A and B are shown apart, each in its own frame.
Chain A
């Protein structure tokens, strides 16, 4: 191993000398970190980076933590950092990159994603939210759903229909929306768990300048696909220790509560323990040998299946205590914590694991068609102008 990159070390030395964390306002420090190219070292100079390898970032983070520097609270802005930023970097104009990325990274502007609609879930390309030309801008009308962080967000990435006269994938464009526009209404979407992680977002005559369109008119599907590719990466790639996931909670309960143990539950426990451990090994294997993005589909499929079985067993293991539920008041969590709260919550929340981020049925199609090469599903809307499709 060679030591940290000299350019990085020099930039860190200068940042910490000119902006001592103990004597600098949080936001001032974060802006200075961005301007020093230490926000995303793999970004170009001027856009929060130094044009270096992504592998240099962990050393930067470690050094800044050790120096007592503030963080940009990434957990508050997952959509912005994980999905909007890479998309803007890849598809945005120079002007958009300069204007949008800095406040995104510092957390001054939280972002959300306006993609799914009541009529466009798995079939995302069927979105019906309309964007109509109006002078040098656009007017947006429609309804979006499953929008996390919408109630906190300053900006959104939006997929909308600009041309209903062409087949569905060809008539979409991609925009950045100012969530403070008076035409934006955000309502909490309460889930079966009692809490509202997500929102419904109603868009009525929302005005977007053409300078906030990302990619060409009609090229929105390609841009959105890039955004979603980053989502799969975010879900897949984290290495976990043995018993690091939901199985750890179940195992810990088994160990600490001998009075709850029953032989019939034991075989299920061990079957799930084995499956969880095998999935963990397969995640490591996939990061080493993955040849196609579709490989992550298998991990996601197994994760959803096992999370549902593990959380169900946990409720049963708890016996009488499994009848309890932590809290029904409508909380508004910033981020989902699948390991947080109680077993009953985990049981209910895990039902969504096979729906969010690609349903298990869609993932099975992806595996069958893209990995195994079986024939594609029949698509009656293929090549048909969007306005003539049955919806």
Chain B
């Protein structure tokens, strides 16, 4: 990791400014509120702007672009923006690239939106088929708690046939027999859905270990970029909280002059500094294994960011309990992100195996009480 440049270079900074200025005008708190009424038009606007104005639809087809993708994810997190970036530009694009399906690679590069309908809580080591392949080649199955599918043009479905071999199939999102249903979720800015496939026609894009490796890779890349998203979210929440503490007055003084509050904020800043380091390491340290970087980022970011947002909510007092104040969007996103792509405890276990610190082998014993 001798070559990790933690500072952002000029190109990255220019990209950040472009994404931020677009999101600040499109992704207002009022617009976010509509997502909680089931309206997905904000997501469409953000997607179109990312793809058509900024040309970021298929960004991740080139792995060298991971640092750029990290910058985009940070800015999306900062605004808690709904966008198919993580699901399509990051995860699905990595998967089609890994199975080397050139026509799909071209389509994603041209801005087609894809999604991999596996439970959003799946860690990269825990990808299972969500449909069976029947004798006529059609797919049948249910994928629940999946994200990115409502806005997708196509679904990359992990499926299994009678021979027990994992395959990856492309299904048109509007094909006959595909039902996509919005699920009311804690975080409506990343629309959660159930997908039901009933005898759906599909095209096989991969089979066997290559599919397993591609899905693993896709979700690991997604996990790293989720860390960048968490960084942007936490950075903005702490910044706005410090602003509030500087201006809000009680007992004739600024809240931020009370040491009890200053010390809580300082501790959050220390945790955030760590997140700046590990998120950047995640996208840049190409000489360290992808899975190691993903689990390190997730093991740190998931819990630290939830704690930061929860503390910042408390530091605001009553105002952050209102719908009008935008902090609740960040809380709902952060809490959902704690589960997304594998909870932190699972990543600590994965990390333990990767660094030779595996847990005890608990040998089964006869229960003393029965």
Interface residues of A (CB under 8 A from B): 251, 254-255, 258, 261-263, 266-267, 269-271, 273-275, 277-279, 281-282, 284-286, 288-289, 295, 298, 301-302, 361, 363-365, 367-369, 371-378
A285 to B257 CA separation, bound complex (whole angstroms): 30
Within 8 A of A (CB), among B23-48: none
The interface centre, meaning the residue of B5, B257, B362 with most chain A CB atoms within 10 A of its CB, is B257
Contact between A275 and B300, CB atoms less than 8 A apart:
yes
B274 near A364 (CB under 8 angstroms)? no
B360 at the interface (CB under 8 A from A): yes
Instruction: Say which residue of A273, A281, A367 sits within 8 Å of B270 (CB atoms).
Output: A367
A359 to chain B, nearest CB (A): 12
Q: Is the CB of B360 within 8 A of A372?
A: no
Q: B269 contacts which of A254, A267, A372, A375 (Cβ < 8 Å)?
A: A372
Which residues of chain B come closer than 8 Å to A378, judged between CB atoms? 257
A363 neighbours in B (Cβ, 8 Å): 266
Q: Evaluate contact between B296 and A277: CB separation under 8 angstroms.
A: yes
CA A218 to CA B7, docked complex, whole Å: 41
Q: A289, B6: Cβ atoms under 8 Å?
A: yes
Enumerate 5 A-B pairs (CB-CB under 8 Å) in ascending A order. A266-B359, A281-B278, A361-B263, A365-B266, A369-B262
Asked if residues B273 and A274 are in contact (CB atoms below 8 Å), the reply is no
Contacts of A375 in B (CB 8 A): 246, 253-254, 256-257
Residue contact B263 to A271, C-beta cutoff 8 Å: no
Chain A's nearest CB lies how many Å from the CB of B320? 18
Closest to A365 in B: B262
Whether B266 and A270, one on each chain, are in contact in the complex, defined by CB atoms closer than 8 angstroms, is no
CA distance A369 to B258 in the complex (A): 11
- Say which one of B167-175, B186-194, B329-337, B344-352 lies at the interface with A: B344-352
Task: Please tell me if the beta carbons of B348 and A367 are within 8 angstroms of each other in the complex.
Answer: no
- Distance in Å: Cβ of A98 to nearest Cβ of chain B: 41
Interface residues contributed by chain B, number (CB under 8 Å):
42
Known: A372-B266, A374-B265. A298 touches B348 (CB 8 A): no
Q: Does B267 contact A (CB under 8 A)?
A: yes
Q: Which of B7, B265, B352 contacts A368 (CB 8 A)?
A: B265
* Extra pairs beyond A255-B356, A369-B262 (11, CB < 8 Å): A263-B360, A270-B351, A273-B357, A278-B274, A278-B275, A298-B270, A301-B266, A301-B267, A374-B257, A375-B246, A377-B257
A320 to B202, CA, bound (A): 62
Residue among B4, B259, B273, B296 having the largest count of chain A Cβ atoms under 10 Å: B273
* Min C-beta distance of B205 to chain A, whole Å: 36
| Minimum C-beta distance from B290 to chain A (A) | 16
Is A270's CB under 8 angstroms from B299's CB?
yes
With both chains docked as a complex, state the minimum distance between the C-beta of B21 and any C-beta of chain A, in angstroms: 24
Q: How far is the CB of A207 from chain B (nearest CB, A)?
A: 43
Assess whether B274 is in contact with A266, with CB atoms less than 8 Å apart: no
Hey, which chain B residues are within 8 Å of A365, CB to CB? 259, 262-263, 266
Closest beta carbon of chain B to A281's beta carbon, Å:
4
CB distance from A129 to the nearest CB of B (A): 29
B352 touches A266 (CB 8 A): yes
Cα distance, A376 to B274, chains bound together (Å): 25
Is there contact, CB below 8 Å, between A281 and B265?
Answer: no
B357 and A377 within 8 A (CB): no
For residue B280, CB closer than 8 A to chain A, the reply is yes
Say whether A273 contacts B6, CB under 8 Å: no
Q: Which residues from A are CB-within-8-Å of B361?
A: 258
Interface string of B193-234 (1 = CB under 8 A from A): 000000000000000000000000000000000000000000
Q: Are B253 and A267 in contact (CB under 8 A)?
A: no
Q: In the complex, what residues of A have CB within 8 A of residue B351's CB?
A: 270, 273-274
The answer, yes or no, to whether B242 is at the interface (CB within 8 Å) is yes
A282 adjacent to B299 (CB under 8 Å):
no
Q: Indicate whether A377 sits within 8 Å of B259 (C-beta atoms), given known contacts A269-B357, A273-B351, A368-B265.
A: yes
Residues of A within 8 A of B299 (CB): 270-271, 274
Residue of A nearest to B351 (CB): A270
Smallest CB-CB A-B distances: 8 pairs: A368-B262, A374-B256, A261-B360, A364-B266, A282-B277, A375-B257, A270-B348, A285-B6
The reply on B355 being an interface residue by CB < 8 A is yes
Once the chains are docked, how many angstroms separate the CA of A288 from the CA of B352? 29
Assembled-state Cα–Cα distance A214/B305 (Å): 48
CA distance A258 to B357 in the complex (A): 10
Query: Are A261 and B359 also in contact (CB < 8 A) when A372-B266, A375-B254 are?
Result: yes
Residues of B within 8 A of A279 (CB): 274
Question: How many angstroms from the CA of A49 to the CA of B362 in the assembled complex?
Answer: 62
How far, in whole Å, are A275 and B267 apart by their CA atoms in the complex?
14
Q: How far is the CA of A286 from the CA of B267 in the complex (A)?
A: 17
For the complex, is B124 an interface residue (Cβ under 8 Å from A)? no
Tell me the minimal C-beta distance from B134 to chain A in angstroms.
Answer: 43
Of the listed residues A255, A278, A301, A369, the one surrounded by the most CB atoms of chain B closer than 10 A to its CB is A278
A248: min CB distance to chain B, Å: 11
Contacts of B259 in A (CB 8 A): 365, 377
B262 to chain A, nearest CB (A): 4
Closest to B356 in A: A255
The answer to whether B273 touches A364 (Cβ under 8 A) is: no
Residues from chain B with a CB closer than 8 A to the CB of A285 are: 6, 276-277, 280
CB of B120 closer than 8 Å to a CB of A:
no
Are B362 and A263 touching (Cβ within 8 A)?
Answer: yes
Q: Evaluate contact between B348 and A282: CB separation under 8 angstroms.
A: no
Q: Is the CB of A288 within 8 A of B265?
A: no
Judged by a CB distance under 8 angstroms, whether B104 is at the interface is no
| CA A277 to CA B275, docked complex, whole Å | 11
Contact assessment for B246 and A278 in the assembled complex, using a CB-CB cutoff below 8 Å = no
B281 on interface, CB distance cutoff 8 Å: yes
Complex Cα gap A295–B270 (Å) = 9
What per-residue 1/0 map shows which CB atoms of B338-370 lie under 8 Å from chain A?
Answer: 000000010011011001110111100000000
Q: Shortest distance in angstroms between A294's beta carbon and chain B's nearest beta carbon?
A: 10
Q: Which of B7, B245, B253 contacts A288 (CB 8 A)?
A: B7
Whole-angstrom distance between the Cβ of A293 and the nearest chain B Cβ: 14
B270 touches A302 (CB 8 A): yes
A267 to B359, CA, bound (A): 9
> In whole angstroms, how far apart are the Cα atoms of A255 and B360 in the complex?
10
In the complex, the chain B residue whose C-beta lies closest to that of A251 is B357
A288 contacts across to B, CB distance below 8 A:
5-7
Query: How far, in Å, is B123 (CB) from chain A's closest CB?
Result: 15
Report the minimum CB–CB distance from B279 to chain A (whole Å): 10
Known: A282-B273, A298-B270, A364-B262. A274 touches B348 (CB 8 A): yes
Q: How far is the CB of A246 from chain B (nearest CB, A)?
A: 15
Q: Contacts A270-B357, A285-B276: A373 and B242 contacting too (C-beta < 8 A)?
A: yes
Collect the chain A residues with CB atoms within 8 Å of residue B362's CB. 263
Given contacts A254-B357, A282-B274, contact A367 B266 (CB under 8 A): yes
